[in-house]
Amino acid sequence: MQKWGPGCHFFGYGLDTDIDELENILEQEQSKYPSRPPALALFTEFPSNPLLRSADLPRLRALADKYNFPIIIDETIGNFVNVSVLPYADIIVSSMSKIFSGSANVTGGRLVFVEFSSDITINLLYHSLIFNPAGRHYKQLKTCLTSLYEDVYFDEDIICMELNSRDLEKRTSVIDVNAEAVCNFLRSHSIAGGMSSSVIKDIFYPKWITRDKYDHCRVKQRKRGTGEEGRDGGFGGLFSITFTTAAASTAFFDTLSCYKGPSLGTNFTLACPYTLLAHYSELEWAAKYGVEETLVRISVGMEDKEALLRCMEVTLKAAQATSTSL
């Protein structure tokens, strides 16, 4: 959008201070150009990647209603088993190739174009797209999609995706429990968790990052369809770790006995040196938003919980050993 589109404002911290700045910009734009909307659309993740921050969605919704622009929320990381964001969204998008499928053996195979105006168009590859039928932009969005939509989904992809998704709730529950256990262990051995001598600085995970914002949208006591009460939505399977030194980060990542790769939401644990992969040519830019060069991002899978904890214990020892060798 910044390089090839009409331009945009990027709020990279994902905190209330960003919304304060957004509100000021909207007020200024409205006063300068009263005959046109101050914004065409607002995009946000819930929670964000890779710092797992959750925006104040009720406040954003109030601004969108006041200034008449749509909100598009990507809930891939939270996923609709854990969080409910529809009341605050005009459009929800979610990657079908992540936890919805889990097996990492099908892409989703769909490309959708949604045009809000002559200035802004959304291209969605491998994503689902849901319009909020109660939203003020629903009729306009549905009309646009109806005129532009082309079904190019490969039949065998549909079959594979549907089969993979049948146990989504069960898989999400296992992954949520595993991730929380791993994060509890690692945070208890971090500086943020009170261990001043640790090589781990912090664990970015919705349980501790903007918790109040995340809790506001957490699913509460779902019914499983059997008449029994379900659990509250969990915190998801994704988290990130920051370290005191590059050596500790390298040792931690290299010692991890799991698959290494850039995706997330897989049924198996997957780790990546996120910043080096996503922002190698703009490391300073990423760092100013708290995305450090040595950050490691982990997507927890469905392995045995105790096996995962043993893996993390070995990995932590390898990272901690770098502090004694300096």
Quote the pLDDT of residue 230. Answer: 64
Q: What is the rounded CA–CA span in Å between residue 238 and residue 264?
A: 7
Among 107, 142, 163, give the residue marking a domain's end. 163
Write down which residue in 163, 194, 214 finishes a domain.
163
42 pLDDT higher than 70: yes
* % pLDDT > 90, the chain: 75
| pLDDT tens-place string over residues 116-160 | 444 444 444 557 888 999 999 999 999 988 888 777 778 888 889
Residue 231 sits in the same domain as residue 120: no
Same domain, 246 and 290: yes
Distance of alpha carbon 2 from alpha carbon 143, whole angstroms: 27
| Structural domain count, the chain | 2
Q: Is it the case that residue 54 has pLDDT exceeding 60? A: yes
> What's the CATH code of the domain at 221?
3.90.1150.10
DSSP string, 249-284: HHHHHHH--SEE-S--S-SS-EEE-HHHHHSGGGHH
Domain end position, chosen among 163, 185, 208: 163
Are 170 and 155 in a shared domain? Answer: no
Looking at residue 106, what is its pLDDT? 86
The chain-wide mean pLDDT, for the chain, equals 90
33 with 147, same domain: the answer is yes
Range of the domain at 132: 16-163
Do 48 and 146 lie in a common domain? yes
Q: Can you give the pLDDT at residue 229?
A: 61
Asked if 99 and 217 sit in the same domain, the reply is no
pLDDT band at 111 (very low <50, low <70, confident <90, very high): very low
Residue 225 has pLDDT above 80, yes or no: no
* SS3 assignment, position 231: coil
pTM for this prediction: 0.90
Residue 21 CB neighbours (<10 A): 13
Confidence of residue 113 (pLDDT cuts 50, 70, 90): very low
Answer whether residue 29 is part of any domain: yes
pLDDT at position 220: 87
